[in-house]
Amino acid sequence: MMLAGGLSEFSNGGATAPLPIQDPDKRERLAHVLGEKRLAELLALVPGEVGKVVDVISKIQASDKAPTPEMLADLEREAHGVRGMALNYGLMRLASAAAAVQDYCRTRGDIDLHLRRLHECSGEVADLMDQ
């Protein structure tokens, strides 16, 4: 099954499983190349970047009118940045959530759903840092 932005679910003998919070192989490679301390520093930047997307979504929600093209462009740009960061760090669920926000900018789906997913994924990244 394909998810937003071309990301697919992992297959497990015909059954599908949700995307992992962080790809364990990617995490291992990053920790080897960067070291645990630097990786933790980089992961600590993620919630702030997610916050930028949340801020734009909040502006859209606060408006009593349909989102303007400028609002949607801002949202797509911020979501694109989060998606790229998430993919670089192997944060698969966050990358999928950010891709879904990018899709929203083109299709105008349920923005509240995307906001909840972003908050959930940001919390998961914070939990990773506490481990």
Q: What's the predicted TM-score (pTM) here?
A: 0.79
- The CATH number corresponding to 22-130 among 3.90.550, 1.10.8, 1.20.120, 1.10.10 equals 1.20.120
Domain boundaries, the chain: 22-130
pLDDT at 39 over 60: yes
* Residue 32, CA atoms < 13 Å, CB-side half-sphere: 6
Percentage of residues in the chain having pLDDT higher than 70: 86
Handedness of CA 100, 101, 106, 107 (dihedral sign): positive
Per-residue pLDDT of 82-131, as tens digits, reads 999 999 999 999 999 999 999 988 887 778 888 888 888 888 888 877 77
